[in-house]
Amino acid sequence: MIARRTLIDLGVALGALAAIAVILEAWTRAFNVPTYLLPAPSAVAARMATDAGVLAREGGITLSEAAAGFVLGTGVAFALATVMAWSRPFERTLFPLAILVKLTPIVAVAPLFTLWFGFGTAPKVAIAALITFFPMLVNSFVGLRSADLQEVAFLETLGASGREIFRHLRVPSALPYLFSGARISLNLALIGAVIGEWTGADRGLGRVIFVANANLDLTILFGAVLVLAAIGIAANAFVGAAERRLLHWHPIAVAT
Amino acid sequence: MPVAIALHGVSAGYASPVLHDIDLEVGNEVVAIVGRSGSGKTTLLRLIAGLVEPTSGTVDLLGVAPAVARRRKRIGFVAQDARLHPWRTVRENVTLPLEVNRRARTNGHITPDEWVARMGLTEATDAYPHQLSGGMRQRVALARSLVIDPEVLLMDEPLASLDELTRDDLRDELLRLWEGRARSVVYVTHDIEEAVLLADRVIVIGGRPAGVLGEVQISLARPRTRAMRREPGFHDLVEEVREHLE
């Protein structure tokens, strides 16, 4: 069932993409659009085939940076949300700081990170982590606070410890929120990694796009964007499958 | 009769006082607390469970403070419209109380599976709460509160959100349960007839802040059945409780 749903989702996405490709192909051929303005999908496909190795390698680098940033950002966000859900003073202190982080434009700090952490993997991971942090923090916090108060009372009358209530009630109650946070954060992490590569890197899809832009090499530029989109779609499908599996008890998961 | 629950001069409240100078002793009996909505019935129950601290007076549960009784796992609690743990099956919900606070004794002579069976939930053992009706959910709530074999059972309008027929069935179930094992039960309700049918004593609270307005001994014989509602003495008792309320 789960695999079938994922396949259907993927099929619909690919179908839409194919339709757009056909239209663009016809357009570029009919009006003889020059390649440096808009390359024909067939040209992009041919370029993707010849440079498949490069795209796969650079895509893998971007994916691993985004994944590391996602794990770091959401991990720290969940830990902080736990502390904030635990104590009001912490919530009052940490929330304004979190909003500060949120309001800082990523494009503004990205060059700074390159300055601090060099041209390697670190600044990309840091940007991806920073950009995923806030949506996950808010979702985790609201989720952990969403536990049913009657159920909390029930566990308390059984002498359950705070840790037991956290494990048996608060974390499962937060799961739907954690998943919606993860869905937002996952895409943001990819964008974060690409922005990081854009501002200074020798590897990754962001670098490929940057160089292609400078050279007006649009076939590889579109190729890189398509690889990025494919990674995003695959990551979302993965989260969706995990969500359906873990939230089978949730009325919304059942309904959709 | 040994006293299981003892409240002496208890007042409680949040921003404004809710309860004022309540004295209440409960032995091995069923005591129904009756009052209008918002009269502090639930606060009184939470006070007994130690979920709310009194602003003055003392609460004793089985000779100790409520917090200690809780740690010893002596309290069963059934809320109105229990949402249960939606990610757990019926059986897993019933075993939950055995999984937390493991240091406390849990000498339930009756296993979770037996409780599931007694509540007529055998067919639903592996179902999730969202697949159950309101009545079935309350049966699960009842089973999970009894699985630790509590000395004190606190019930907060457990049947209020159910339809009439389901309510009658579950009421019979409760009566049957209480015939078996002697327990101290505090049963909060706004349904006077229900209070008279179930309880050995009905205590009426009201006012602002709420105090004890009156008490009615229910002399109906046990075992009780729903047919007793048609007996001549029944309505006298109901009227007597109603007078205290007005």
Name the least confident of A9-23, B126-140, B152-166, B220-234.
Answer: B220-234
Pairing assessment for the beta strands B56-61 and B5-13 based on DSSP bridges: antiparallel
Give yes or no for residue B71 having a pLDDT over 90: no
Helix, strand, or coil (residue B7): strand
Q: Pick from A168, A172, A248: which is nearest to B100 by CB?
A: A168
Q: Pick from B83, B99, B148: which is nearest to A148 by CB?
A: B83
Q: Pick from A159, A169, A175: which is nearest to B101 by CB?
A: A159
- Residue type at position B94: V
Number of domains in chain A: 1
Q: Which residues contact B72 (CB under 8 A, 6 or more apart)?
A: A159, B64, B104, B105
SS3 content of chain A, % helix, strand, coil (to 5): 85, 0, 15
SS3 content of chain B, % helix, strand, coil (to 5): 40, 25, 40
DSSP state of B227: G
Q: How large is the greatest C-alpha to C-alpha distance in chain A, in angstroms? A: 76
Residue-wise burial string across A91-107, b where 16 or more C-beta atoms lie within 10 A, e elsewhere:
beebeeebeeeeeeebe
Classified by CATH at the fold level, domain B1-74+154-162+186-246 comes out as Rossmann fold (3.40.50)
Q: Give the residue from B204, B107, B154 showing the smallest Cα distance to A150.
A: B154
What's the burial of A150, exposed, middle or buried (CB within 10 Å: 0-12/13-18/19+)? middle
User: With bands split at pLDDT 50, 70 and 90, how would you rate the model's confidence at A173?
Assistant: very high
Which residue of chain B has the CA closest to A147? Answer: B85
Task: Judge: B130–A169 Cβ closer than 8 Å, yes or no.
Answer: no
Going from the C-alpha of A239 to that of each of A135, A144, A235, B125, B159, the distances in angstroms are 16, 20, 6, 30, 40
User: What are the domain boundaries of chain B?
Assistant: 1-74+154-162+186-246
Q: Quote the mean pLDDT of chain B.
A: 86
Question: Which A residues, 157 through 176, put their C-beta within 8 Å of a C-beta on chain B?
Answer: 157-161, 164, 168-169, 172, 175
Give yes or no for residue A1 having a pLDDT over 60: no
pLDDT value of residue A254: 47
Give the model confidence (pLDDT) of A84-96 as tens digits: 888 888 888 888 8
Query: For residue A53, what are its two tokens?
Result: 């190795």
Give the model confidence (pLDDT) of B94-147 as tens digits: 999 888 888 877 666 788 888 888 888 888 889 999 888 888 898 899 889 988
Residues of A in contact with B71 (CB under 8 A): 159
Helix, strand, or coil (residue A249): coil
pLDDT value of residue B161: 82
Q: How far is B101 from chain A (nearest CA, A)?
A: 5
- Predicted ipTM? 0.87
Mean pLDDT of A128-135: 91
Give the model confidence (pLDDT) of A185-219 as tens digits: 999 999 999 988 888 778 899 999 999 988 989 99
Q: Give the residue from B56, B55, B53, B76 showing the smallest Cα distance to B65.
A: B53
Q: Pick from A159, A164, A249: which is nearest to B73 by CB?
A: A159
A-B contacts at Cβ under 8 angstroms: 70
Distance from the Cα of residue B8 to its chain's centroid: 20
Give yes or no for residue B58 having a pLDDT over 70: yes
Domain that holds residue A84: 2-255
Give yes or no for residue B70 having a pLDDT over 60: yes
